[in-house]
Homo-oligomer: A and B are copies of this chain.
Amino acid sequence: MVNFNSISFEKEVFIVKIPEGDIALKKKSDLKYFFEPKSIAVIGSFKEGFFGGYVVVKSLLNAGFAGEIYPVNPSYKEVLGLKVYPSIKDITEEIDLVLIIINCRAVPGVMRECVERRIKAAIVVADGFAERDEEGARLQKEILKIARHNGMRIVGPNTAGIANPAKGLIPNPYEIGYERLKTGGIAICGQTGMINPQAFPYDDLHYGVSKLCDFGNKSDVDECDMLEYLENDPATKVITMYLESIGDGRRFLEISKGVASKKPVLILKSGRTKEGAHVSTSHTGSLAVDDQIFNAACKQTGVIRLKNFLELFELPKIFAYQPLPKGNRLAMVTFTGGVGVIAIDEVTKYHLSIATLSPETETKLNAIFPGLGKTIVDIGPAMVLSNNYTEIYSKILKDVLADDEIDCIFNVIWVGPSGKYVEDYLKFYKELQGRYQKTIATWIYGPKIPFLNEMAYQLEDLGFPVFSNIEMAIKALGIACQYAMARREKSDEAASHNQ
């Protein structure tokens, strides 16, 4: 067992600590008020701009939030057609969630009014807390005490908030420039606003999200709370997180192990270096955890550790869209040998093995073109001779997919500059839907130019993830195989215990 408690943290004056006993007040069921509120009060300024209470209300309206919205500000009468209440006390109806986006010094007072109204959940967008200075740290401690003693939960402070697109709940404080956030199976949580919709235009990217949560300063709701919540969230197929620190190491070990055995958990943790950890402390006021210990914790719990920011958004797609591979035998279909060589170099990093095609498939492929039935199915030479490129391509891919000797496939698509094959590919991928129980990762040859982007989104809408580079596609298959293998081992273990 990795002992998180043995870590010696650097002292940092701004860190907020609340007496141990008070943590017992946390209740996991509380998070439902954040993600499924029937009503939300927004306390802030309603001046138009790219940030603020006005934007929150507008985002909620645009996204079609079906619950009640109560804007609160004594200086306004109306915003976007909604009545503005002078104070939270003037709202007679029940309030599930409050979003506070005012000067930090005014937050404790407002929080007291909220607990009087028995509000159970607060998103504190306001900044100027532990990330700023000692005074801010004191304020953060104050609001945390108010919440803890009254059974209220806090996301933040210094957060861009949360989102549940399926409910039209996008109380985003920054202008995001689009209305709806696409609903899907990926939950994204982060100790940064970088994961939020103003940073990543999920909708434009056809990126389907189940829940979003920016922990901000992570004074209360943290990675463990979200893991527990998302474990039982039926909309979430895969959980991905960006963390700079771990709030409670022991709890993290326990919870993540349980969750990872049900759903893939992918974590990018920065602050890996002493330098990075120091900066992390100063921007969200959180403690960083020793990096190697975190590595060991991931191995022990089955959490998949990510390496960079791009992976955070790309790798979860393999779990959200594709079935888990039944084994680790990988086939490749490409039209240029170079891609195959690069891909094979990557393969050896994971527990993937290069599939040997069955003799039947080999024979079928060699009949299409001499030498095609190799480890890497290189369509290139055959394609130059063919009059109908996509016909030969689809025939080859189907032959490979039907082979019982393979579990997953790296498929390289060549579109050509005119884009004339796009429709053919889309039609063909539509045919593949649900037909073969193989895990498919696709790379579209070439850089991200607009029409290839668009094609990638359309393939993903059909359920086939497209990765932005060769290595990412192979890694996606690699982690899918590793995860599937770990799950199988666990269930075998469980089965043998039950005998």
Do the beta carbons of A283 and B194 come within 8 Å of each other? no
A339 within 8 Å of B by Cβ? yes
Do the beta carbons of B446 and A341 come within 8 Å of each other? no
Do the beta carbons of A308 and B338 come within 8 Å of each other? no
Do the beta carbons of A416 and B283 come within 8 Å of each other? no
Residues of A443-457 whose CB lies within 8 A of B: 445-450, 453
Do the beta carbons of A283 and B450 come within 8 Å of each other? no
Q: In the complex, A354 Cα to B279 Cα: how many Å?
A: 11
Q: In the complex, A125 Cα to B433 Cα: how many Å?
A: 38
> Chain B's nearest CB lies how many Å from the CB of A292?
14
Cβ–Cβ < 8 Å partners of A313 in chain B: 447
Q: In the complex, A341 Cα to B344 Cα: how many Å?
A: 32
The interface residues of chain A, by DSSP majority, are classed as loop
Do the beta carbons of A276 and B416 come within 8 Å of each other? no
Do the beta carbons of A308 and B193 come within 8 Å of each other? no
Do the beta carbons of B200 and A283 come within 8 Å of each other? no
Do the beta carbons of B175 and A446 come within 8 Å of each other? no
Cβ–Cβ < 8 Å partners of A416 in chain B: 50, 175, 177, 198
Do the beta carbons of A192 and B338 come within 8 Å of each other? yes
Q: In the complex, A378 Cα to B280 Cα: how many Å?
A: 12
Known interface pairs A178-B417, A244-B338; A354-B275 also in contact (CB < 8 Å):
yes
Q: In the complex, A67 Cα to B79 Cα: how many Å?
A: 69
A161 within 8 Å of B by Cβ? no
Cβ–Cβ < 8 Å partners of A449 in chain B: 201, 204-205, 453
* Mask: chain A, 457-480; 1 = CB below 8 Å from B; 0 = not: 000000000001111000000000
Cβ–Cβ < 8 Å partners of A347 in chain B: 275
Residue on B nearest A190 in the bound complex, by CB: B338
Known interface pairs A244-B341, A338-B191; A200-B371 also in contact (CB < 8 Å):
no
Cβ–Cβ < 8 Å partners of A185 in chain B: none
A154 within 8 Å of B by Cβ? no
> Chain B's nearest CB lies how many Å from the CB of A15?
16
A403 within 8 Å of B by Cβ? no
Looking at the complex, which of A29-37, A116-124, A266-274 is the stretch in contact with chain B? Answer: A266-274
Q: How many residues of A contact B (CB 8 A)?
A: 72
Cβ–Cβ < 8 Å partners of A25 in chain B: none
* Mask: chain A, 157-196; 1 = CB below 8 Å from B; 0 = not: 0000000000000000001111000000000001111100
Q: In the complex, A37 Cα to B311 Cα: how many Å?
A: 45
Residue on B nearest A337 in the bound complex, by CB: B283
Q: In the complex, A275 Cα to B355 Cα: how many Å?
A: 12
Residues of A362-394 whose CB lies within 8 A of B: 371, 374-376, 378, 381, 384
> Chain B's nearest CB lies how many Å from the CB of A161?
14
Copies of this chain, complex-wide, total 2
Do the beta carbons of B309 and A279 come within 8 Å of each other? no
Q: In the complex, A127 Cα to B378 Cα: how many Å?
A: 14
> Chain B's nearest CB lies how many Å from the CB of A434?
28
Known interface pairs A284-B337, A418-B175; A201-B271 also in contact (CB < 8 Å):
no
A282 within 8 Å of B by Cβ? yes
Do the beta carbons of A271 and B450 come within 8 Å of each other? no
Cβ–Cβ < 8 Å partners of A131 in chain B: 337
> Chain B's nearest CB lies how many Å from the CB of A59?
12
> Chain B's nearest CB lies how many Å from the CB of A197?
9
Most buried by B among A200, A354, A384: A384
Q: In the complex, A382 Cα to B190 Cα: how many Å?
A: 22
* Mask: chain A, 272-307; 1 = CB below 8 Å from B; 0 = not: 110110011011100000000000000000000000
- Known contacts A204-B449, A275-B345; 20 additional CB pairs below 8 A are A127-B381, A132-B371, A132-B381, A177-B418, A192-B337, A193-B336, A194-B445, A198-B416, A199-B445, A199-B446, A271-B341, A272-B345, A273-B345, A275-B344, A279-B341, A283-B337, A283-B341, A283-B376, A309-B342, A448-B453
CB<8 Å pairs between A and B, sample of 23:
A50-B416, A132-B381, A194-B338, A199-B336, A200-B446, A200-B447, A201-B447, A205-B447, A244-B338, A270-B338, A272-B345, A273-B344, A275-B347, A275-B348, A276-B342, A276-B344, A279-B340, A279-B341, A284-B337, A308-B470, A309-B471, A448-B448, A450-B453
Can you list the 5 inter-chain pairs with the closest CB atoms, starting with the nearest? Answer: A177-B417, A283-B337, A192-B338, A276-B344, A276-B345
Which A residues have a C-beta under 8 Å from some C-beta of B?
50-51, 127-128, 131-133, 175-178, 190-194, 198-201, 204-205, 242, 244, 270-273, 275-276, 279-280, 282-284, 308-310, 313, 336-342, 344-345, 347-348, 354, 371, 374-376, 378, 381, 384, 416-418, 445-450, 453, 468-471
